[in-house]
Amino acid sequence: MSDDRDGDEHELRVSKIRNGTVIDHVRGGQALNVLAILGIDGSQGEEVSVGMNVPSDRLARKDIVKVEGRELSQDEVDVLSLIAPDATINIVRDYEVVEKHRVERPEIVEGVLSCPNTGCITTGDEPVSSRFEVLDDGVRCTYCGTIVREEIASLIDT
Amino acid sequence: MRHDHLITSKQLSRADIETVLDRAAEIDADPAAVADRHANTLLGLLFFEPSTRTKMSFETAMKRLGGDVVDMGSIESSSVKKGETLADTVRVIEGYADALVLRHPREGAAKMASEYVDVPLLNAGDGAGHHPTQTLLDLYTIRENAGLDDLTIGIMGDLKYGRTVHSLAHALTNFDTRQHFVSPESLQLPREVVYDLHQVDESATIREHDSLEEILPSLDVLYVTRIQRERFPDEREYQKVAGEYQIDADTLEAASDDLTIMHPLPRVDEIAPAIDDTDYAAYFDQAHNGVPVRMALLDLFLSEGGETDE
Ligand SMILES: [Zn+2]
């Protein structure tokens, strides 16, 4: 993987973090959805910086999300793949990138998206969390079978 | 057959389907042989929406195997009315019964409920979702009348909302069948269903038509479903469209003599009563087949480990 030369200059716009996670190469405009998927809304006091529509070589426009004091788990990273398939995840400790990985599509996504089918058992008052099977080109509710291919981010359970 | 629950016909392989149908045929041929087979067995009936036929059919099946049923009763009189979740209800009733039958208005209800219980749970319909016992009795009827391989079947009517049709179409991909779907454009098979059919069987022969005429002569089976009034904005539009998908003696002039006509019932006027007494009509047999097929299923699921002990 080449280093992020394209980002260097522009990333200055977004302050460096000491410990935490940098999610880079997020498709332009998806940064807020990335935060939503991770359940980060600022209410817990997390220090979050967001760069939106930053010019990039790999993507015409990319978003960058930096979360201070939090290292993403593999599960969280996997779920990101649904809306940010090109994202790279940098785990930062003491201002150094100590781990760098690409997202991978998970087989199952649990409890993150809500089913758009209002007749689905998961949208009622049952104590069950949503579960979606990840297809090549979308996701499918394990319970009712509804397939969603577009606007997956709009299903993020907030 | 090795399944803990029966949620959808999609979970059944060809071998599973054949196991059920073979068992149903044995039971059909000699019901007395199984009359005490499941004595002292209780089947819990949880019907969250009315479906008298399906419920009676399960009740008959259990009793003909020597067992009995415990019935949750109507929703109005139950704790569901007081806001109890389905997850709680099934866990309570599980303690009373050796197996459960669930009918529920929400899609995925049976799948979810099965995750909360250890006894076998049979889906008797979940909203617009699945109704696998209907599919199996349809398959049984097709096999008895026309055979399941080298079959040309026409499925006609409301293909958009008819879950019966979706499950049947899916199950038929296990066999060597050519499926023709006949419907008004507004009631065509949902794209997701078509996508699925091709997913399970790339070579699936699936054709869609807006008229029965061109394919009728080639059919071994014609499966008719009801086009519901409420799918149309007004009465006139409904009459006009529905009228084009009705079967009477004139329609059948072009049909093969061996054609089998099926219908999940109840019908309104999709099939003229004059057809009832002809050799084409299999829909009442089809309804009766619900009992041996459900007996076979209960027998297979109640026998140890959900496996046949043959
Ligand atoms: Zn669903």
One domain, residues A62 and A129: no
**Which of B106, B116, B121 is most worth mutating to test chain A (most A CB atoms within 10 A of its CB)?**
B106
Domain containing A48: what range? 20-102
Q: Is B25 on the interface with A (CB under 8 A)?
A: no
Q: Among the listed ranges A15-29, A73-87, B182-196, which one has the minimum average pLDDT value? A: A73-87
One domain, residues A86 and A112: no
Q: Is the pLDDT of residue A157 over 70?
A: yes
Residues on chain A touching B109 (C-beta within 8 angstroms) = 121
Enumerate residues 6+ apart whose C-beta is below 8 A from A7.
A24, A54, A56, A64
B37 flagged as catalytic: no
| The pLDDT value given to residue B171 | 94
CA distances from A84 to A76, A126, B227 (A): 12, 30, 43
- Please name the member of A125, A126, A144 whose beta carbon is closest to the beta carbon of B107: A144
Q: How far is A103 from chain B (nearest CA, A)?
A: 26
Domain containing B168: what range? 132-287
One domain, residues A117 and A50: no
Number of domains within chain B:
2
What are the pLDDT tens digits along chain B (310 aa)? Answer: 779 999 999 999 999 999 999 999 999 999 999 999 999 999 999 999 988 899 999 999 999 999 999 998 877 666 666 688 999 999 999 999 999 999 999 999 999 999 999 999 999 999 888 899 999 999 999 999 999 999 999 999 999 888 889 889 999 999 999 999 999 998 999 887 888 888 887 777 899 999 999 999 999 999 999 988 888 888 888 888 888 899 999 999 999 999 999 999 989 889 999 999 999 999 999 999 999 999 999 999 999 654 444 3
One domain, residues A32 and A84: yes
- Please name the member of B105, B111, B192 whose beta carbon is closest to the beta carbon of A143: B111
Does residue B1 sit within a domain? no
Cα B4 to ligand 1 centre (Å): 22
| The pLDDT value given to residue A70 | 87
Kindly report the CATH number assigned to the domain that includes residue A88: 3.30.70.140
| The pLDDT value given to residue B77 | 66
Q: Is the pLDDT of residue A3 over 60?
A: no
B82 flagged as catalytic: yes
Mean pLDDT computed over A11-30: 81
Residue B87 CB-density burial (10 A; 0-12 exposed, 13-18 middle, 19+ buried):
middle
Phi, psi of B13 (to 5 degrees): -80, 170
CA B101 to chain centre: 14
One domain, residues B297 and B279: no
* The two structure tokens encoding residue B144: 């008895």
> Would you put residue B125 in left (φ > 0), alpha (ψ -120 to 50) or beta?
left
Element containing residue A31 per DSSP (H, E): helix A31-37
CB distance B70 to B47 below 8 Å: no
| The pLDDT value given to residue B80 | 65
Task: State which residue of chain A sits closest to B83, comparing Cα positions.
Answer: A125
Give the number of other CB atoms < 10 A from CB of residue B246.
Answer: 18
Cα A149 to ligand 1 centre (Å): 14
Residues on chain A touching B85 (C-beta within 8 angstroms) = 125-127
Does residue A6 sit within a domain? no
Check A126 against B129: CB less than 8 A apart.
Answer: no
- Sign, CA dihedral B295-B298-B304-B307, equals positive
Residues on chain A touching B129 (C-beta within 8 angstroms) = 144-145
B103 flagged as catalytic: yes
Size of interface A-B (CB pairs under 8 A): 52
| The pLDDT value given to residue A14 | 55
Number of domains within chain A:
2
One domain, residues A121 and A77: no
| The pLDDT value given to residue B128 | 84
One domain, residues B82 and B197: no
Distance between CA atoms of B45 and B58, rounded to whole angstroms? Answer: 8
Does residue A141 sit within a domain? yes
Check A147 against B192: CB less than 8 A apart.
Answer: yes
| The pLDDT value given to residue A1 | 43
Strand-pair partners of B91: none
Does residue B257 sit within a domain? yes
Distance between CA atoms of B57 and B38, rounded to whole angstroms? Answer: 16
One domain, residues B151 and B253: yes
Kindly report the CATH number assigned to the domain that includes residue B53: 3.40.50.1370
Cα B107 to ligand 1 centre (Å): 7
* The two structure tokens encoding residue B125: 């319909």
Give me the helices (H) in chain B, please: 14-29, 52-64, 86-93, 109-114, 132-145, 163-172, 191-200, 235-243, 283-288, 290-302
Residues on chain B touching A127 (C-beta within 8 angstroms) = 85, 87
* The two structure tokens encoding residue A28: 């332009």
Give the number of other CB atoms < 10 A from CB of residue B256.
Answer: 15
One domain, residues A68 and A90: yes
CB distance B221 to B154 below 8 Å: yes
Does residue A7 sit within a domain? no
User: Among residues B23, B103, B130, B170, which one is catalytic?
Assistant: B103
Does residue A9 sit within a domain? no
Give the number of other CB atoms < 10 A from CB of residue B76.
Answer: 7
Q: Among the listed ranges A102-106, A112-116, B105-109, which one has the minimum average pLDDT value? A: A102-106
CA distances from B199 to B193, B196, B203, B304 (A): 10, 5, 9, 33
* The two structure tokens encoding residue B79: 């704790």
The residues on A that touch B, with CB distances below 8 Å, are 117, 119-122, 124-128, 141-147
B131 flagged as catalytic: yes
- Residue with token string 């066999």: B175
Distance between CA atoms of B51 and B29, rounded to whole angstroms? Answer: 28
CA A85 to chain centre: 9
Cα B110 to ligand 1 centre (Å): 12
Cα A75 to ligand 1 centre (Å): 21
Mean pLDDT computed over A9-20: 67
- Please name the member of B87, B109, B127 whose beta carbon is closest to the beta carbon of A127: B87
One domain, residues A129 and A145: yes
| The pLDDT value given to residue B310 | 39
Single-letter amino acid, residue B200: V
Which is more confidently placed, A43 or A8? A43
| The pLDDT value given to residue A134 | 92
